[in-house]
Structure 1
Amino acid sequence: MMSTQQGKRIHFIGAGNMASAMLRGLVSSGFSPALLSCSAPAETETQRLVDELGIRAAADNLELLTHCDAIVLGVKPQILKAVCEELAPFLASTNRQPLVISIAAGTTTQSIAEWLKQDPDLLPLVRSMPNTPAQVGMGASGLFATPAVKADQKSLVQQIFEAFGIAVWVEDESQLHAVTALSGSGPAYVFEFIKGMADAGVSLGLSPEVSRQLAEATVAGAAKLCAASSDEEISTLQRKVMSPGGTTEQGVRVLQSEQLTATVSRAMEAARDQSLYLAGEGPGPAKN
């Protein structure tokens, strides 16, 4: 049975990788394709989603907005201002105020409200930070809601983002900089670690194919085990793999002596500082 939230009309402005991942997640989780739509200037992008998912699409961003309950701004940050300015007259003329959801990194709710020519205290707006594993249904998204977002709208947003992974709320918009540094940029850190493991496996005598498969499965399995053991400290899970005097203990000692944790912390601080810089709230990361 379709839930009340799944009966909402949702329009995506943009049909890129993230918007496409979100739409696929929504359809697979039970949202009706007939109530979903997208718009983008490239017909090849929208037609692919129409053929695959059965949603509606248009080249004009304003064509399918009537009666929408939520509008997802799924465009890159550098064109978000232009899209918002195009959308502003529609929001000013409509009798019903749709929820606006932004997935653009580094763009504040204050800026979005200004571009939409809306009072930031009255505009129901959610700013989100999803990440690329959403493309395989395992995204991790941070969410922030303005005071005007109602409980049922917040529930809709939760359901939208849980259609392709997990979703957590932050109480202060500034915390999205930390979300960006952790889960937003985090997949690239993990890819770097997988690559390092795979390359090391090759140097120890494994074939590239076997080494990569083992590295990928090991990281995915460890993450799943960690999530399934959330009542235990991560350090406890680590100790369960380490026998005194064993191979794992020796490997972990090297990682600790090379200060892996401190290196990860510095990487996240640099990503956070760049997020602040892009939002016009900081000088950016220090140049070494």
Structure 2
Amino acid sequence: MSTQQDKRIHFIGAGNMASAMLRGLVSSGFKPGSLSCSSPAEAETKRLVDELGISASADNLEYLRDCDAIVLGVKPQILQSVCQELAPFLASADRQPIVISIAAGTTTQSISSWLKQDPDLLPLVRSMPNTPAQVGMGASGLFATAAVKPDQKALTQEIFEAFGIAVWVEDESQLHAVTALSGSGPAYVFEFIKGLADAGVSLGLQPDVSRQLAEATVAGAAKLCAVSHAEEIAGLQRKVMSPGGTTEQGVRVLQSEELTATVRRAMEAARDQSLYLAGEGPALAKN
């Protein structure tokens, strides 16, 4: 068992993402007795207590003493009030726990100011997880402030790897690109799966059969790509395509319709909206 799995971790919030993270932590070996959460949603916390054996409270401050990490798992619109509630505790704490935010579009500068902490001294990680965390296959981007110590960074890595992969970015501004890629990406993939399934129906398949084939095809291709990470994606693609065969004809259509350029434009739009929501860019024109 990793020494990190003895660390005390408190989650403020018990919504879908916080719940997915807690389930991942327990399933990966973190001790339920070292995990806790707080939320006014009693039904959500009771479900986690019954399922995972963790501790829970409606009081955000109850389990903070001796915490090694505090995960801010609330919606961005209430994050400021939660931080202001935590500020007196952090000001008087004997030791500084690492603070981890999963709130999209909220900068470390804003969080530090709401916590009334010097941003150069507060160990703070801003993260961008995504919804496949709910099935243990998340992809998270992480940014650490300069005050994060190596052991705190290692703990954060292990927390996020409990429900998928975790990668670090060197500049906080890169989280906008992470948002556009892995944060919003599941919706792009769902759109492609829907396109495959709908096209299969138009070619004569039953809807349920077509959807199952579409889901399994995308999941299998993604898994094959992941286990063949050292190989170029184009090389994997060529292995499916025989000269003059069916796949080659289908890929030619996707290329002629500029699928890659369309995906890039979708990501640019998502990135620009992320900048706008963070107050770092203009509003996008609405069609």
TM-score by length of 1: 0.99
Residue 234 of structure 2 aligns to a residue in which SS? Answer: helix
Give the equivalent residue in structure 2 for 1:210. 209
Give the equivalent residue in structure 2 for 1:36. 35
Residue 166 of structure 2 aligns to a residue in which SS? Answer: strand
Count of matched residue positions in the alignment of Structure 1 and Structure 2? 287
Letter in 2 for 1:179: V
1:70 and 2:72 are equivalent in the alignment: no
The answer to whether the Cα contact below 8 Å between 1:26 and 1:163 also exists between their aligned partners in 2 is yes
Alignment root-mean-square deviation, CA: 0.7
Give the equivalent residue in structure 2 for 1:181. 180
> How is 1:195-206 mapped onto 2 (pairs within 5 angstroms)?
195-206=194-205
Letter in 2 for 1:249: E
Give the equivalent residue in structure 2 for 1:277. 276
1:25 and 2:42 are equivalent in the alignment: no
Give the equivalent residue in structure 2 for 1:134. 133
Letter in 1 for 2:19: S
Letter in 2 for 1:144: F
- Output one character per residue of 1:11-55: Cα deviation in whole Å (capped at 9) or x when no partner: 000000000000000000000000000000010000000000000
Give the equivalent residue in structure 1 for 2:47. 48
> How is 1:1-288 mapped onto 2 (pairs within 5 angstroms)?
2-288=1-287
Letter in 2 for 1:226: C
Alpha-carbon distance in 2 for matches of 1:284, 1:249? 41
Letter in 1 for 2:184: S
- Output one character per residue of 1:177-235: Cα deviation in whole Å (capped at 9) or x when no partner: 00000000000000000000000001100011100000000000000000111111101
The answer to whether the Cα contact below 8 Å between 1:15 and 1:39 also exists between their aligned partners in 2 is yes
Offset at residue 94 of structure 1 (A): 1.0
| Structure 2, gaps ≥5 residues long | none
Alpha-carbon distance in 2 for matches of 1:165, 1:42? 26
Give runs of ≥4 in structure 1 deviating > 6 Å.
Answer: none
Alpha-carbon distance in 2 for matches of 1:207, 1:23? 38
- Output one character per residue of 1:58-98: Cα deviation in whole Å (capped at 9) or x when no partner: 00111111110100000011110011011101101111111
Letter in 1 for 2:62: E
Letter in 1 for 2:169: V
| Structure 1, gaps ≥5 residues long | none
Residue 171 of structure 1 aligns to a residue in which SS? Answer: coil
- Output one character per residue of 1:135-173: Cα deviation in whole Å (capped at 9) or x when no partner: 000000000000000000000000000000000000000
Alpha-carbon distance in 2 for matches of 1:30, 1:190? 31
- Output one character per residue of 1:99-142: Cα deviation in whole Å (capped at 9) or x when no partner: 00000000000000000000000000000000000000000000
Letter in 2 for 1:231: A
Alpha-carbon distance in 1 for matches of 2:284, 2:166? 28
